[in-house]
Amino acid sequence: MSPLCCTANMGSIEGACKVDFRIPARAIERMHAVIPFPDISPEIFSISVFGFELALRWYAMAYIVGIVIGWRLVIAALRRPALWRSQTPPVTPTQIEDLLTWIILGVIIGGRLGYVAFYQRAYYLENHGEILAVWQGGMAFHGGLLGVVVAAFLYARRQNLPMTGLADAIALGVPPGLLLGRLANFINGELWGRPTDLPWGVVFPGPDAQFCPDVTGLCARHPSQLYEAGLEGVVLGALLIWMVWRSGALHRPGLVAGTFFAGYGLSRFVVEFVRQPDAHFVSPGNPLGLAWHIGGWGLTMGQILSLPMILAGLWLIQRARRTT
């Protein structure tokens, strides 16, 4: 089998191409310094049941473990009333457990509809029957975020909970899932960056990743999934934990949520400069895949969707800072 051959095409967030890929040592010797794609299977294990193959994939495991870690972080904060304004947490641990179901539904429904609306609207207008086919791949973070916001709003109204305090609690638990999700994107060999000759460029598998017209030989790309994992998961997560446990941020409702919105939006906006856009945005007249552009200058779809997050986050931060 050619090392550039894609052995399967199963989607996850915003598309995927999973392969078993190894770079011959001779090929690496002929290239500038690059990092070969690690030989990690997208499947943790698989079993056959009555002729059907059931597999546990790293991406599914990332969802599960990310939700569990996030949930435990939130519960730990709720069990310390002194962290909260007036020493009164806005929600109980039992209510957070009930809210998890709403959040999971919000992520799946919002993530799928967001992908359909933001990234592949024309295709799904002609193929309505595939809109609900989540197993074929195609999820968008910004859509999933909107789904969570709607789910949390409806739950807060039903339970008569303060929305800003609940938003702070939810925001605290999100970064672990982002970290693990982006690591799973990397293992799956999807959502890679633009071509680069930097020494940490990674040779991703598959004909799409290796289609680099200006590159001779194997094409190395920015590991943009790892950039996002570091910024959205490690840096933003550490900042929120410090704010909650060390700086008293929860005494100002909305400050943690605002920091999350602005922090994620800014991180994603910056990484988009080196992240490869979806193929349907790229054309001979628009090689950078900009969703909006004038005279060669513009924004990718990820940047367009991140701008409202940054503005909403800054507004929440300013509003929280006025709290006495």
Give pLDDT, residue 4: 38
Dihedral of alpha carbons 126, 289, 10, 144, sign: negative
Instruction: Classify strands 202-203 and 35-36 as parallel, antiparallel or unpaired.
Output: parallel
pLDDT for residue 92 is more than 50: yes
Give pLDDT, residue 30: 42
Q: Strand pairing partners for 221?
A: 195, 202
Task: Give me the torsion for CA of 4, 10, 14, 19, rounded to 10°.
Answer: -20
Give pLDDT, residue 102: 93
Q: Per residue in 38-66, pLDDT tens?
A: 988 888 888 887 777 778 888 889 989 99
pLDDT for residue 304 is more than 50: yes
Contact partners, residue 10, CB within 8 Å, separation at least 6:
16, 18, 42, 135, 136, 137
pLDDT for residue 317 is more than 90: yes
Instruction: Provide the 3-class DSSP secondary structure of residue 93.
Output: helix
Instruction: Provide the 3-class DSSP secondary structure of residue 274.
Output: coil
Mean pLDDT on 178-185: 94
Give pLDDT, residue 311: 98
Contact partners, residue 247, CB within 8 Å, separation at least 6:
none
60, 107 contact by CB (below 8 A): no
Q: Higher confidence at residue 32 or residue 72?
A: 72
pLDDT for residue 8 is more than 50: no
Burial 25-64 (b: 16+ CB within 10 A, else e): eeeeeebeebebbeeeebeeeeeeeeeeeeeebbbeebbe
**Could you give the CA distance from residue 75 to residue 97 in angstroms, rounded to a whole number?**
9
Give pLDDT, residue 159: 94
Mean of all residue pLDDT scores within the chain: 86
**Could you give the CA distance from residue 98 to residue 307 in angstroms, rounded to a whole number?**
31
Instruction: Provide the 3-class DSSP secondary structure of residue 263.
Output: helix
